[in-house]
Chain A
Amino acid sequence: MYFLAAEGGESTHNPIIPLWQEIVVGSVAFAVLCFVLMKFVFPRMEQTFQARVDAIEGGIKRAEAAQAEANQLLEQYRAQLAEARTDAAKIRDDARADAEGIRQDILAKAREESDRVIQAGKDALAAERATIVRELRAEVGTIAVDLASKIVGESLADEARRKGTVDRFLSGLESTGAR
């Protein structure tokens, strides 16, 4: 260095006086650097930072939405479960009530049936009795008339039929019997 400097015979430099050539070179070089970095690199970094923030915030939002949805679903399921429980209870109650009703129905029907059977029996009995009474009445009348005819010696049958004597007598008999 030294011997080169000595060879050149250059006048001494003052270190605090800038060389204008270096100012020109430095300005151009630094301008190029600023242009490239400030136009093509750092704005993209800001964009990337922003995208990253968005991604994280979006992720949080999505998670919150999912959480909310899950909570809502849970509530819904709980409500449905409670509803199902009340339904089940209601169905059980209904079934119990139905069973009771059916039992009552069956009982009532059975009672009705038995009543009906009894009534039918009674009716049949009454009818039979009435028939028998009617037959007996006719027979008693005939027998009485025949007996009276034998006693009297002539046929009173037509007379008796004509005048209803026997019937009247029997009716009177019945009514006194009923009384």
Chain B
Amino acid sequence: MAELLRTHPLEAWAAALAELPDEVRITPEPFVAMVDVRVPAAASEGLAVRGTPLPTAPNTWTPTADGRMVWLGPDEWLLTSTGTVPHLLEEELRDQLRPVGGTAVDVSAQRIGLRISGTRAREVLAKGCSIDLHPRAFPAGRSAQTTLGQAGVVLLSLGEEGFAVLVRSSFAGYLASWLLDAGLEYVPLG
């Protein structure tokens, strides 16, 4: 039998998103393994997971060897990894964290990522996000759990490279149409 094909939640939106001008670049991120990591706050200080210390400052994220570690709460993180099979990553982390009272759950398909960049990126996000995204307030390495339009998102500042938005897969289509609509005024009449 042929290998099972994967279907990206934003497959149908890719063409329309690609039509946006350079001022607003919206690119769906490829599939990536994501594991929700829970470690009791007391055990998390200085704890390294796959070589990267868990960020303990609220609303921050740190890069890892092949992904990101996002602070979600005093005892919760989201670990992403481009180089690992999701269920194997879950297994590995479950084994590592069980002794410190931690847990790990594969949530790779729960959310999908979008990269938003370009000179108008902040303006487009400001149409539906009440968080201050100015570089003075939301520099690279900052994250937020907030709403964009009416979709709950995890928002990461990538600094010069714009923003990453992690959205529930079921809301991805809504968010894509919302973003296309928000970006419409920058699309030249062709």
A binds B: no
